[in-house]
Structure 1
Amino acid sequence: MNQPAATTRDDARYQAVCSRDARFDGEFFLAVTSTGIYCRPSCPAVTPKRANVRFYPSAAAAQGAGFRACRRCRPDAVPGSAEWNARADLVGRAMRLIGDGVVDREGVAGLAARLGYSSRQVHRQLTEELGAGPVALARAQRAHTARVLLQTTSLPVTETAFAAGFASVRQFNDTIRAVYARTPSELRAAARAGRPRGPHPAPAGIPLRLAHRGPYAAREIFDFLQLRAITGIEEVTGAPGAPGTPRRYRRTLRLPYGTGIAEIHEPAPGPPHGAWLDCRLHLTDLRDLSTAVQRVRRLFDLDADPYAVAERLGADPRLRPLVAARPGLRSPGAADGPELAVRAVLGQQVSVAAAARLAGTLVAAYGKPLAAPDGGLTHVFPEPGALADAALDELGMPDARRRALRTLCAALADGTVRLDPGADRDAGESALLALRGIGPWTAGYIRMRALGDPDVFLPGDAGVRQGLAALDASPAAADGWRPWRSYAVHHLWNHTARPIPKDTP
């Protein structure tokens, strides 16, 4: 008799736990009935007996079953599941919106309205696939945000509760005790006990370690962002590959409650220091913490599954050397969808450097100034509504492209085009293509980055054509690279910029 599918799947998960396989962190969670604790698969604790293990598809499901988060492996801080970010269905879209804080700001009704479904349908599908509804999933995220604030800031506990999105201090206290088996004060005291004592005050901002799974090609993503950095809203300090001085990428963020500045540090050259990027967030309103974290994660593609990407792309002998040469290559997303769309239109028919200069001019003329400049950061990117009726005379580009930019911004402002984390990707691309002046390259590039689609190919892109020619491949070859064609595009772009020597294995 065949074994039930669930039993076979759980046995495979248990094998991943026995080997402490970090590839599965965030893909599922294990709970131990004998201790009442849930962990990530790579937890360094002694492997529990199979009979005592239960598996859950989300941290919220484990918490809902009464399990507490492990203090050693911190399962609430794992990378997000690559599946939910890659999927374009209701569950994937809902998870991206919950991560962006929509449930905390607009409630389940607001989430359902954005998705175009009833609240009951959204709850049912999330519960079926993740073992928890939208309220429980948002609660798990609030608990993680609260832990970060308690352990990295001196904000009073009462203010921490509301900054993390809790409706009351009682709800906050009950949740923290249920999830971490400690009171908020005990969580804060434990973090302080582990810090080295010294006379120097802690630097401003909230320090974070943004986890990722597998190898991470940091040099390539920092190169990509540095080449496209816009004066006023982005800056990159340090030289690529310079010993002892890794780069620092900084940018401004427009957030639901205020503004922010994100600083992300490039890992130093040499052996991997850990499966995370060091980040520091400066926020005018701490209620924006979880939203800011998710937007940085999307920009740096931190929830990707590099193992699945490498397995598919490496199966093509033409791409295999490229994949081997740049393990963990990411497909950068966007910190702000409308901003990325505007940048894409500015980049039509011009070089990357020229597009960055045009965007800098746009920011200086129409961006919202920060309350106080911070280094080279002076503005947040202009909102679409501010550009929809603007003359844009400052931009030295053809009138047709100015009209296309105004048309796009009007569509973004009135909701004809939606580029939020939960937007339907097919509908978004169709709406873009319906606008005068938006062609397949622009719509595809926006879909790849603003909507985070991992399976976009750009056959008309000059760099892609050059990369295909260098590999002696045709655009038809991309059909075999699904569902990771966006990553193939980045391999082709990088290969064009820095070809791999032919004698490289």
Structure 2
Amino acid sequence: MATTVRIPLPRAYRVADILAFHSRDVEGVAEQVRGGGLRKGLLLAGVPVVLDVAFTPAEAVCVIDHDGRLSKSARALADDALLNILGLRIDPAPFLKFARAHPHLGALARQHKGLRIVQSATIFEALTWAIIGQQINLTFAIALRRTFILQAGRQHSSGLWCYPEAQDVARLDLDELTSRKFSRAKAETLLRLARMVAEGAVTLDRNHDLDETMATLLSIKGIGPWTVNYALLRGYGYADCSLHGDVAIRTAMQRVLGTEERPDIAETERWLAQFSPHRTMTAAHLWASLAHE
């Protein structure tokens, strides 16, 4: 079963950035980039879904291909996921206007005009990716994520694997993760989060009170401020996330400021505060400065 959705794209939309983000896993287990388009697999209310996106200069032509009936709420999640994976949650223009005259970030903002934050398809995916990737290098994190998808996800009829939902992860045993190179701490945190979401103790819904959700997440053992801020950025598309605990942000800040030593977390937090309410886009441009040296 399939439904086609056409999403208008803003002027100077940077398709290459979107495709680069979704091609980080070279094995393409749950995301495939080919022919100038992308395919993303995910489970929505237990139904395997593939979002198949082709780009024209004016719009994204999106086919929602689902192996079963999608409820009204699940269909809404599919539409939501399309906005996320296309980076259409945050308009970059207000940040550019805000920062273009800044002595340190202005030139960088102008250089990467139109840069967008690409999100995970769902809030649960953003949170689990944050847990998986924290404090390890990107290559290893992507390999662990691939294992995670193959263990907890399911295949769409097209063959593409679908990123799991909380209920799928909650059924895993600890040994299934630790035997596949997950640290015990990561495995326990993933299972703890998944079971709380599956049981309704944590609500991951952008219409739910955000402060309440963040407070609940912070109360979970293994989830700290960095994980929550990353979830706000990649999951909710929140425009004012302070990623002062992120090592890459601190490294980029050191290079932008030209200091001999990398700033500590407290100093980074203070420096980023000047960019509120646009700290999410500030993080995007600092990350981009490392990728385009």
Q: TM-score, normalised by structure 2?
A: 0.84
Deviation string 1:286-309 (CA, Å, 9 cap, x unpaired) is 655554222211232324333212
Residues 283/384 of structure 1: CA separation in 2 closer, same or farther (3 Å cut)? closer
Distance 1:230 1:312 in 2: 39
Deviation at 1:207, TM superposition (A): 4.0
Structure 1 equivalent of residue 198 of structure 2: 413
Deviation at 1:456, TM superposition (A): 0.3
Q: What are structure 2's unaligned runs of at least 5 residues?
A: 259-266
Residues 446/339 of structure 1: CA separation in 2 closer, same or farther (3 Å cut)? same
| 1:312 and 2:98 aligned | yes
Verify the 8 A CA contact 1:331 1:454 in the aligned structure 2.
no
Q: How large is the RMSD of aligned CA atoms in angstroms?
A: 2.5
Structure 2 equivalent of residue 253 of structure 1: 42
Deviation at 1:312, TM superposition (A): 1.5
Structure 2 equivalent of residue 332 of structure 1: 118
Structure 1 equivalent of residue 223 of structure 2: 438
Verify the 8 A CA contact 2:84 2:121 in the aligned structure 1.
yes
Distance 1:484 1:208 in 2: 30
Distance 1:416 1:315 in 2: 45
Distance 2:135 2:153 in 1: 24
The code of the aligned residue for 1:258 comes to V
Q: Select 1:263's aligned residue among 46, 52, 56.
A: 52
Deviation string 1:125-167 (CA, Å, 9 cap, x unpaired) is xxxxxxxxxxxxxxxxxxxxxxxxxxxxxxxxxxxxxxxxxxx
Residues 229/333 of structure 1: CA separation in 2 closer, same or farther (3 Å cut)? farther
The code of the aligned residue for 2:115 comes to L
Structure 2 equivalent of residue 395 of structure 1: 180
Structure 2 equivalent of residue 221 of structure 1: 18
Structure 1 equivalent of residue 290 of structure 2: 496
Deviation string 1:80-125 (CA, Å, 9 cap, x unpaired) is xxxxxxxxxxxxxxxxxxxxxxxxxxxxxxxxxxxxxxxxxxxxxx
Distance 2:79 2:135 in 1: 33
The code of the aligned residue for 1:466 comes to T
The code of the aligned residue for 1:373 comes to S
Verify the 8 A CA contact 1:265 1:278 in the aligned structure 2.
yes
Verify the 8 A CA contact 2:90 2:237 in the aligned structure 1.
no
The code of the aligned residue for 1:412 comes to V
Residues 425/395 of structure 1: CA separation in 2 closer, same or farther (3 Å cut)? farther
Deviation at 1:445, TM superposition (A): 0.6
1 or 2 for the larger relative contact order (CA 8 Å, sep ≥6)? 2
The code of the aligned residue for 2:18 comes to I
Verify the 8 A CA contact 1:219 1:266 in the aligned structure 2.
no
Deviation at 1:322, TM superposition (A): 1.6
Residues 318/300 of structure 1: CA separation in 2 closer, same or farther (3 Å cut)? same
Q: TM-score, normalised by structure 1?
A: 0.51
Verify the 8 A CA contact 1:212 1:303 in the aligned structure 2.
no
- Equivalent residue runs for 1:449-488 within 5 Å: 449-472=234-257, 475=268, 476-488=270-282
Verify the 8 A CA contact 1:211 1:302 in the aligned structure 2.
no
Structure 2 equivalent of residue 279 of structure 1: 62
Distance 1:316 1:459 in 2: 19
Q: Which runs of 4+ in 1 moved over 6 A?
A: none
Deviation at 1:470, TM superposition (A): 1.3
The code of the aligned residue for 1:447 comes to L
Distance 1:333 1:209 in 2: 19
Verify the 8 A CA contact 1:229 1:356 in the aligned structure 2.
no
Residues 214/348 of structure 1: CA separation in 2 closer, same or farther (3 Å cut)? same
Deviation at 1:229, TM superposition (A): 7.1
| 1:236 and 2:25 aligned | no
Deviation at 1:230, TM superposition (A): 7.3
Residues 421/405 of structure 1: CA separation in 2 closer, same or farther (3 Å cut)? same
The code of the aligned residue for 2:231 comes to I
Verify the 8 A CA contact 1:249 1:263 in the aligned structure 2.
yes
Q: What are structure 1's unaligned runs of at least 5 residues?
A: 1-203, 238-244, 268-272, 500-505
The code of the aligned residue for 2:286 comes to L
Q: Select 1:342's aligned residue among 128, 132, 135.
A: 128
Deviation at 1:408, TM superposition (A): 1.4
- Residues matched between the structures, number: 278
Structure 2 equivalent of residue 161 of structure 1: none
The code of the aligned residue for 2:16 comes to R
Deviation string 1:24-55 (CA, Å, 9 cap, x unpaired) is xxxxxxxxxxxxxxxxxxxxxxxxxxxxxxxx
**SS state at 1:471 partner:** helix
Distance 1:210 1:418 in 2: 28
Verify the 8 A CA contact 1:411 1:417 in the aligned structure 2.
yes
Verify the 8 A CA contact 1:227 1:352 in the aligned structure 2.
no
Verify the 8 A CA contact 2:8 2:60 in the aligned structure 1.
yes
Residues 407/205 of structure 1: CA separation in 2 closer, same or farther (3 Å cut)? closer
**SS state at 2:236 partner:** coil
